[in-house]
Chains A and B, each alone.
Chain A
C-alpha cells in the first residue's frame, strides 16, 4: 500500500509539475499567445475564449462567432480552461486620467462597426495551449526532460521553476497606475495598430519625464503587437528610436504603428508617438521583426 501511494504520489507530482509548467508557460506570453490564433495554420488549436488578435477570422470558418462587444467571449468556449481567471488589463481603471478615458471611449465607438478592434492584454496565468508555445522555445525546458522521465526535480530545476512561475509580462508587471497603462486597438481596414499609453510615476527618467527605456518598451510592445497580428509569432531583431521631445510623466500619448514591408520572414515596421491632439511628435521609430520558424531553435 505504501508503494502504490508513492507511485500515486509521484504521478501527482508529475501532473502537478506539468500543470505548474503549463501555468508557467501560459503566464508569460500575452504577446506570444497568438500562436494559437495564427490565421488558419494547420495543427493549431482552436481559438481560446478571447481572440481579437486574429482580426481576419472568416465567419464561415466553423468557429462560433459572437457579437464583438468589449471583452466579450468569442470562439469555442470548450477551449476555455477554467483553471485560472484572467483579467484584461487594457480596460479603464481608476488610475486612467481623463485624456486616456476619452481616447478609449473614442476608439471603442469606432470599434462598433467592426473596422477597429480592441486588443485585450493579460499579465499572467493566461489560458493558452502551452504546446503551441513550447515548440518555439525548446531550449527553455530543461525541466521538461526531467519531468518527462518522472524524476523528482533537482534543486536547481525547482528554483528555476519557482522563479519562472512568478513570471509576469514586463509591461504588465507593475501595480495599477504606477507603470504602463495602455490599450491597443487594431484598425482592421488599414491594418495598423494604435496604442494609447499613460506612463505612471514609476517610469521616470529625467525628473518629471518618462524614461527613454520605458518609451522603448512601449514602442517594442506596440510594434510587436503589430507584427504578431500580421504574421503570428515574431521577435524583435532591431529597434531604431529617435526621441524628439521628452514625454512628461503622467501624460497620455498615442502610438501609431504599421507594417511597412514584409520580405520573407522579415517584417519592417514603423511607428510614431504623438500627443493626444496630434500636434506634438514625441518620438519616431523603425524596426525589424523576424517571424519565428518552428524548425529553428532560439536557444
Chain B
C-alpha cells in the first residue's frame, strides 16, 4: 500500500526528511532529474514498430466532422510539427521497459487491465478519440466523440466522461511535456452538454512547469468553436519513471 502521499513526494524537492519515514528517499537532482527531453520522451512513446493495436485510428463509427478534422491534423503532422499519439489498450504498453518509481509499481501484472478511456472496445460505443501533440509548443488537441454508453442526461455525454477525457489528454500531454505522471488536481467548469455521437475538440496547453508540477489548461468546444462545452485546468506531478531491470 502507498505510505507516502503526493505531498511527501513534493516535499522531497525541498530536501526535507519525510516525517515518520524509516529512511530518507534519494534526493531528486532537480537540475537533471527531469532532463529527459520532450523529443526523447516522444520517440520512446511513439513506437515505430509494434504489434500493439492502435485505437486512435478512424473507424466506421467516427462522424464526418471527426474524420475531416483528423485528416486536417494528419496533414499537419507532415508539415507543422504535430505528432499523432498512438493509443494502446493499457498505459503499461505505453511505457514498455519502464516502471513507476518509489515502489509504486504494482506487484502483479494483470493482463486484463485496461486504460479507462479504452474500456469500451466496441466501435462507437464509448470513447472514440485521438490526440495530436505538438512537442515544441507543448500543446495537444484531442478529437473526442462520446458514444451512447457514455450517457448521462438523455442524449448527452456524462460529465464524468468529459472529465475523464480531459484528464487523459492532460495526462499524455503532461507526460510528454515534462514527465508528469499523476493528477494532483482537476478543476472543471461545465458550460454546455455534448450530444452523444458528436465531435468535441479539446485544446490543451501547458501553462507552466514549476516546483515539480505541470500546470495545464483545457477548453472543450465544438469544431467551429461556437459552442464551449467546458473549461478546465489540471495540475500534474512530475515523477521520473525508472528503467525496469531485466530479470
**Hey, which bits of chain A sit against chain B, CB under 8 A?**
24-25, 28-29, 31-32, 133, 136-137, 140, 160, 163-164, 166-171, 173-174, 178-179, 201-209, 211-214, 216-221, 235-246, 248-249, 280, 298-299
List the A residue with the shortest CB-CB distance to B157. A170
Contact B167 A246 (CB under 8 A): no
CB-CB under 8 A from A207, the residues of chain B are 90-92, 95, 99-100, 105-106, 113
In the complex, the answer to whether A204 meets B115 with C-beta atoms within 8 Å is yes
Min distance, Cβ B164 to any Cβ of chain A, angstroms: 2
Known: A29-B153, A140-B154, A243-B183. A171 touches B160 (CB 8 A): yes
Least Cβ distance of B80 to chain A in Å? 29
Chain A residues within an 8 Å CB radius of B156: 140
B100 with A202: CB separation less than 8 A: no
Given contacts A29-B153, A137-B155, A170-B152, 14 further A-B contacts (CB under 8 A): A28-B151, A29-B154, A164-B155, A167-B151, A169-B158, A204-B90, A205-B91, A207-B90, A212-B171, A212-B186, A216-B164, A217-B163, A244-B5, A248-B106
Decide if B113 touches A244 in the complex (CB within 8 Å): no
Q: Please tell me if the beta carbons of B152 and A169 are within 8 angstroms of each other in the complex.
A: yes
Measured CA separation A280–B2 after assembly (Å): 10
List residues of B (61-101) whose CB comes within 8 Å of A's CBs.
Answer: 90-92, 95, 99-100
Contact A216-B153, Cβ < 8 Å, known A178-B119, A202-B114, A206-B100: no
Complex CA gap A33/B10 in Å reads 44
Contacts A212-B167, A216-B163; A201 near B185 (Cβ below 8 A): no
Which residues in B have some Cβ–Cβ distance to A below 8 Å? 1-2, 5-7, 90-92, 95, 99-100, 104-106, 110, 112-117, 119-120, 125-126, 148-161, 163-168, 171, 181-190, 193, 195-197
The 17 sampled A-B contact pairs (Cβ below 8 Å) are A160-B197, A167-B155, A170-B152, A202-B114, A207-B113, A208-B105, A212-B171, A212-B183, A213-B160, A213-B167, A221-B160, A237-B190, A241-B186, A242-B185, A243-B185, A245-B6, A299-B195
Q: Once the chains bind, are B196 and A173 in contact (CB under 8 Å)? A: no
Q: Are B182 and A246 in contact (CB under 8 A)?
A: yes
Chain B minimum-CB-distance residue to A233: B153
A249 to B164: give the CA distance in the assembly, Å.
Answer: 16
Taken together as a complex, chains A and B put the C-alpha atoms of A244 and B104 apart, in Å, by 14
Other-chain residue from A166, A170, A211 in contact with B167 (beta carbon distance below 8 A): A211
Whether the Cβ atoms of B116 and A164 lie closer than 8 Å is: no
Q: Contact between B159 and A239 (Cβ–Cβ < 8 Å)?
A: yes
Q: A171 to B195: give the CA distance in the assembly, Å.
A: 17
CB distance from B113 to the nearest CB of A (A): 5
Question: What residues of chain B lie closer than 8 Å to A240, measured between beta carbons?
Answer: 185-188
Take A174-B120, A204-B90 as given contacts and tell me if A213 and B163 are in contact as well, using a CB distance cutoff of 8 Å: yes
A201 and B112 form a contact (CB under 8 A):
yes
When the two chains form their complex, are residues B90 and A167 in contact, meaning their CB atoms are under 8 A apart?
no
CA distance A236 to B187 in the complex (A): 12
| Given A179-B119, A204-B115, A170:B161 Cβ within 8 A | yes
Listed residue (B92, B126, B156) with the most chain A CB atoms within 10 angstroms of its CB: B156
Q: How far is the CA of A163 from the CA of B122 in the complex (A)?
A: 13
By a CB distance below 8 angstroms, the chain B residues around A31 are 152
- Contact between chains at B165 and A213 (CB < 8 Å): yes
CB atoms of A164 and B153 under 8 A apart: no
How many Å lie between the Cα of A163 and that of B151 in the bound state? 11
Task: Determine the residue in chain B with the shortest Cβ distance to A24.
Answer: B154
The one of A25, A174, A205, A217 in contact with B158, judged by C-beta atoms closer than 8 angstroms, is A217
CB neighbours (8 Å) of A25 from chain B are 154
Question: Which chain A residue shows the least CB distance to B122?
Answer: A166
- Known contacts A167-B151, A212-B186, A218-B160; A248/B105 CB under 8 A: no
Q: B167 contacts which chain A residues (CB < 8 A)?
A: 205, 211-213, 216
- Inter-subunit contact B197/A170 (CB<8 Å): no
Interface pair B152/A204, CB less than 8 Å apart: no
Residue of A160, A166, A212 with most chain B CB atoms under a 10 A cut-off: A212
Q: Are A298 and B193 in contact (CB under 8 A)?
A: yes
Across-interface contacts of B152 in A (CB, < 8 A)? 28, 31, 169-170
Residues of chain A lying within 8 A (CB to CB) of residue B155: 28, 137, 140, 164, 167
B241 to chain A, nearest CB (A): 10
Going nearest first, the 5 A-B pairs with the smallest beta carbon separation are A213-B164, A208-B106, A217-B160, A211-B116, A140-B155
